[in-house]
Structure 1
């Protein structure tokens, strides 16, 4: 497509002679086109009926040249559309109207096939959310007909439980949590439409700027240092000294549990007190396999001094590729087995069984709380925990950061005073 033409659907030429200016002026000045002073020889068969102006353009689809059109009541609107379309072509933003008629479910299938860099678990979650929440609403809807208001209404339905869904066991839809809505709308649904924009089926994604309820993370479970130490001692008693070290390692380093169990001797630098997080265990329905960390990128984390001695004893004499934390019979520790064999018994022995929602992942949250209290800023915490962005770190732990406006004001005051004094001297 190179050009967009504007056709007058009411006036025509007569044997090559265009309509006179007087006929055009009369038609433009008349509210009722049928009352305008226009001789019949200049009138088309559609004169006075429907919209007067038509924009017309062509696309090449395979080996076929296909015409497209859009009608307007006002010439100014047609000219604005013409300019916009031709600008889109020059800038590579043009989307074929036929592609905008594709059904959402078909584009969703293409999007899933394109996700070659996600784990089996993440892919399973995408498929589940598409099947249960997204496709029941959008499967047969042409992607080009989805509006900003449609998306906003759907978000409201997800919040109130009034949405269509494919739920098993005849369960009824219920209001979803902000975190679930964010995943369904901003990750999966918007991801499909992002793909449509990328392959130029759409010009813009109506879901990308949609506002979803802000996740509340204040219900996360945090243990204080006394509770962590009590739990670690209990883990040593119900299991091995290694199990107590795992509790402390999780609580004072903040790695994900399957990153810890994938840790190899060669990843540990005792001199610098640093660990290179290169891999994690990926769980599927039947197997475990090694893969990159959740963010997809390796990262370096630091660990406190008191862990140097037990880690040195743990890795002494082991080859670089040996796992740091090993099962009783050697090899890596399976996190499901460890929870069943050690975690639940240690929680009960430590008297923490009534702490609702306490899981091994709570130790990672506890690390964040301790680090923030110790003065860690958001960027350092993001790097240590392997979050994709500092905004995600703030979304989760922002409420833990202390109010420091007074400290900032005092620091500014001190800087001003120092500058004035030095100038006088």
Structure 2
């Protein structure tokens, strides 16, 4: 039986072969394919694969990713990602299922005249919505209506509970789970537990500022964050406590991707006061279809001794750790720790080579990590027992984490033919 394994962010690993251009026969942009190889002895479902368009164009001049279907026996869900918002796609992201040790060919098939792209179910979403048409009074936004936007420079008047941003920050989701973070001085990440595989964020918080704290047909906010790191919140470890990204000169948040298989939120924190240092920090939060995991790619403008993340400390939760034998490790908690008073598993996954220490402060379990050339990548995830097919036992959650860490250490390869 094929196991459900979360997505990976995969880079194309090679460029093989070449095609000569011709005017009447197959041209270099007519015969393009990828060879996708699973190196592991287990199956993978909903693997998110990504290929830079420039690397394909290096072997197939003129290729820009547009006007093609992706097929491997059947059409594969995919999207074109314009990461720098210049109007031209930079990479192709697509989903594939792979059997153990399978090598699969994925072909680019030109659309015929008048042919449209297949429609794929939307399985991820990212959004940012704030009020317009009202006015600021004493750091509260009075009146107005919510409007979704592609980006926002956070106004200086904005703080916690300003009633300006819908559910207080940007949100992102897959067909498994949703997340949000507070786009204010708290800058902490929260969980939206989902009872459905449909996209739901577009209707959360419209009927009342805190309505999502109550159970709804779609789900609810299931985490008590308070002054903690919530789940996966970035920060730095200052001797005996974690410091979130609280004091900054300015914050700019954007939605670069809101696609059928992948979505992203990019936030730039200018002038973060991290102890005695002041640095700029960029965070890119990405989620893929069929996955509970959020990937956080952090970039610093100048070195810091460490970056940290972690999980809120809650009662009734067992602590789970990996055995340290694999390239990717995890720190997790599991128990009746949700605001619905039922089962919730949370985890941080990190490269063992980045780990400085696992520690704690008054509010959080803290994973302290070492940036490499001012960059750091880690993942976080939440598994709520009420999600469709939810994980209900500590043993099942540990097995899921072991499987996930194993897959992160055995990435799928892609060759361009």
TM-score under structure 1 length normalisation = 0.23
The structure whose RCO (Cα within 8 Å, separation 6+) is larger is 2
Structure with more of its chain in helix, by fraction: 1
Look at both structures and tell me which one has the larger radius of gyration over its CA atoms: 1
TM-score under structure 2 length normalisation = 0.24
